[in-house]
Amino acid sequence: MSKFLYLLLLIPSLINAAAIPENGLSRPVSAKSNNEEKIFNTLIDKVEKAYRPYIESYSKEFNVERYWDDPKVNAAAWIKGDSYNFKIYGGLFRFETISHDAFLLVACHEVGHLIGGAPTYKPFNDGSSEGQADYFSITKCFRKVVRGEDHKKTLRGKSLEPLAIKECELSFFKKSEDYQICLRSSVAIKDMAKTLKAISNISEVPSINTPDPYERMFIIFNGYPNPQCRIDTLFAGSLCNVSEEEENDFYLKLYNKGNCAVANGDQRGLRPKCWYVPREEDKV
């Protein structure tokens, strides 16, 4: 065994994953944005409050770092031993295409890296993969965080995609809060699509109306699916009718627990084949 590989094996579990690919973008604090620091913290508080008891119930520490003054347009998550961590920067909140709900999706994505279940980053299996973190962000965390809010007020004046209205109706009873959250999710997804275009140097804004037709032979464990595939994942997740209270596998081993999955008999809300390949659970 090489000395380098030996040293790697001694390193405790440590991922550093992010919803937003590494970029050189910067959005510094301005006089106008200064008044929004309270909103920045309130949104993060919602996510922290939703998942602190759950993570601590497994005897883990949950640390949330907020850097309002930092202009970086990003966030990150990592696990180190029994410490589950994520950090988020003010530059992301101030980015022009990030709405409050899109900001929640990013924060939720970071939590998804920590507790979103399999697939995971290889070879260390020390955090849910990017595609899985995207899926968790919308199927579990976003729903959990916004449940009980006035969704009709949030949606007032927003343009809804006809496809989103149609598909949300097929997944949820029209008079239910789940249906309203599904519609609200579609608006947040549209804002995330604009953000992915802005940071990815692609010519077209990804859309729920233009799904990626590619079907992979192997799961994308490491790295990001393409922007369109990520939007497909978010939209599919918004249509999954498995409750946000049904846990994913905290230990990141099970692929189908808590998810809409072929193995569970589901037909809607499945993780898209542009990054995921349906599979049975590994024996653990």
In terms of DSSP H, where are the helices of 22-89? 31-34, 37-56
Model confidence, pTM: 0.93
113: Cβ contacts below 8 Å, ≥ 6 apart: 15, 17, 77, 78, 86, 127, 128, 133
The CA-atom distances, in angstroms, between 277 and each of 67, 142, 150, 217, 272 are 37, 24, 37, 7, 8
User: Do the Cβ atoms of 55 and 113 come closer than 8 Å?
Assistant: no
Task: Report pLDDT for 3.
Answer: 38
Mean pLDDT of 182-189: 98
Could you give the CA distance from residue 192 to residue 186 in angstroms, rounded to a whole number?
A: 10
Task: Report pLDDT for 32.
Answer: 62
Maximum mean pLDDT: which of 11-20, 28-37, 217-226? 217-226
| pLDDT per residue as tens digits for the range 260-284 | 999 999 999 999 999 999 998 876 4
Could you give the CA distance from residue 114 to residue 62 in angstroms, rounded to a whole number?
A: 10
Query: In terms of Cα–Cα distance, which of 68, 61, 63, 59 is closest to 48?
Result: 63
User: Do the Cβ atoms of 186 and 160 come closer than 8 Å?
Assistant: yes
| 193: enclosing H helix or E strand | helix 177-200
Task: Report pLDDT for 201.
Answer: 82
**In the 8-state DSSP scheme, what is residue 118?**
S
34: Cβ contacts below 8 Å, ≥ 6 apart: none
Task: Report pLDDT for 94.
Answer: 96
Mean pLDDT of 17-41: 83
| pLDDT per residue as tens digits for the range 106-163 | 999 999 999 999 999 999 999 999 999 999 999 999 999 999 999 999 999 999 999 9
The CA-atom distances, in angstroms, between 111 and each of 48, 134, 166 are 9, 10, 29
Q: Quick one: CA dihedral 62, 87, 19, 185, positive or negative?
A: positive
Q: Which has the higher per-residue pLDDT, 19 or 83?
A: 83
- Residue 9 confidence class, pLDDT cut points 50, 70, 90: very low
